[in-house]
Amino acid sequence: MSELDAFRTEVREWLEANCPAEMREPIRDEGDVCWGGRNFKFKNEAQKAWLEACVAKGYTVPDWPKPYGGAGLTPEQTKILKQEMKRIKARSPLDSFGIWMLGPALLQFGTEEQKVQYLNPIARGEIRWCQGYSEPGSGSDLVSLQTFGEDKGDHWVVNGSKIWTSYADKADWIFCLVRTDKTNKYQGITFMLFDMESKGVTTKPILLISGNSPFCETFFDDVEVPKTQYVGEINRGWDVAKYLLGHEREMISGGGAGGDMVSIGGAFAKAFGKNAAGELDDPILRAEMAAFDVDVFAYRAMGERFMDMWKTGRAHPASSNMMKYVGTELNKRRHELVMSGGGSEALEWDSEESKGGARARGWLRTKANSIEGGTSEVMLNVIAKRILDLPGA
């Protein structure tokens, strides 16, 4: 047996022994997602036990080095772990912006001290992070951001506001882009880290078209940030931000930007019934769903190839933009079909049968997929410029 086969057997046995049955059920609502953090309330014992088992093994961040809370797995081993988790339909033990975004940035740009200090609490689900990037006047044109940190010797005094800060009202700390030099657009931003309980930080949830409020406005009013709490170099935060955006797009891609990667037509055949030939009883919708399924299975292969190449340094550094673009557009299409398939039932907004309007709200939520983390149009700009090398892009 090869080493990888042996590893697979070991993982399989470990999962069997440690992943509770409840954690192999599909995610039904937001409460089923474990975000961790100071104020996180576990939904049940199984969720807690599953997190703790993974933390002990380093499996919340399997490919991070052991000293930072990971398991130090190779890309091949990580892939096997993911395959085996998927095989038993195991839920993710811990989801967080710390894992997806800040962690990779710290691994790349952080000092040894910062890595030890910040990564371990992320891996253990103790500190929940949020991301302070967009501002009311700086969306796609992020680098025009105005939130300013005034240099006061051993600390900055930060003033300004951020918008679309995901779960800012639930987060413990923020990683935040702050202008520290008004004379230099790109090299005048510092990537700061600070506690959301700092004096002067307030958050205000934004009610979205889905009726939910996953995003906040975040205000900074004379917030003091020690001048040790930044990543990379002062005024060079844009480098970190760009790296992190790439990673964010990678995560959105690898994490299934196409949504649930299974056949949509298969699921609806039951609801619709079939005709005498055994076909979904609406030929036009059937055709649209089948065409969509082709794209889903194709994107799944793309996701596999992308991750294989990305983890081994073979991918074009800008290819995550393509993944993000294709995947998010696909997910929007999926939810349009879910609504069509659901008919008038899918329109229900708050009934018990509709699980609180899950389909309608989910459909509306996906409209943000191609806006957040860089719009589809920005993704296309980046592909044109960095991959296709088109002029003046």
Partner 1 sequence: MPLYHNDDQAMLKDSVAPFVAEQAPVSHLRKLRDSADATGFSRDLWAQFTEMGLPGMLVPEAHGGLGMGHMEAGIVLEEIGRNLTPSPFLSTGVGAVAALAKAGGTQAGRWLPAIASGEAIVALAIDEGAKHRPDRIATTATRAGNGFRLDGKKSFVLHGHVADVSIVAAKSDGGITLFAVPKDAKGLTADPRRLVDSSLASHVTLDGVEVDADAVIGEVDAGGEILDALLAATRTGAAAEMVGVGQGAMDMTVNYLKERKQFGKLIGEFQSLQHRAAHLYGEMEVARATVMKAQQLLDEGSEGAKLMVSVAKAKAGRAANLAVREGVQMHGGIGMTDEYDIGLYMKRDRALAEYMGDVHYHIDQVARMNGY
Q: Which residues bind partner 1 (CB under 8 A)?
A: 263, 265-266, 268-269, 274, 278-280, 286-287, 289-291, 293-295, 297-299, 301-302, 304-306, 308-309, 312, 314, 319, 322, 325-326, 377, 379-381, 383-384, 387-393
Name which of 217 and 308 has its Cβ closer to partner 1: 308
Residue type, 209: I
CA 308 to mean position of chain CA atoms:
19
Extract long-range pairs of 373-382: CB within 8 Å, 24+ residues apart.
Answer: 373/245, 373/248, 373/249, 373/252, 373/324, 374/140, 374/245, 374/249, 374/321, 374/324, 375/140, 376/325, 376/328, 376/329, 377/140, 378/140, 379/249, 379/321, 379/322, 379/324, 379/325, 380/325, 382/318, 382/321
Q: How far is the CB of 309 from partner 1 (least distance, A)?
A: 6
Residue 81: which residues within 8 A CB-CB, separation 6 or more?
11, 59, 62, 73
Name which of 104 and 265 has its Cβ closer to partner 1: 265
- 301: DSSP letter: H
Name which of 46 and 261 has its Cβ closer to partner 1: 261
Name which of 212 and 263 has its Cβ closer to partner 1: 263
Name which of 48 and 332 has its Cβ closer to partner 1: 332
Q: How far is the CB of 126 from partner 1 (least distance, A)?
A: 34
Q: How far is the CB of 15 from partner 1 (least distance, A)?
A: 22
Q: How far is the CB of 50 from partner 1 (least distance, A)?
A: 29
Q: How far is the CB of 326 from partner 1 (least distance, A)?
A: 5
- HSE at residue 212, side-chain half, CA atoms within 13 A, is 20
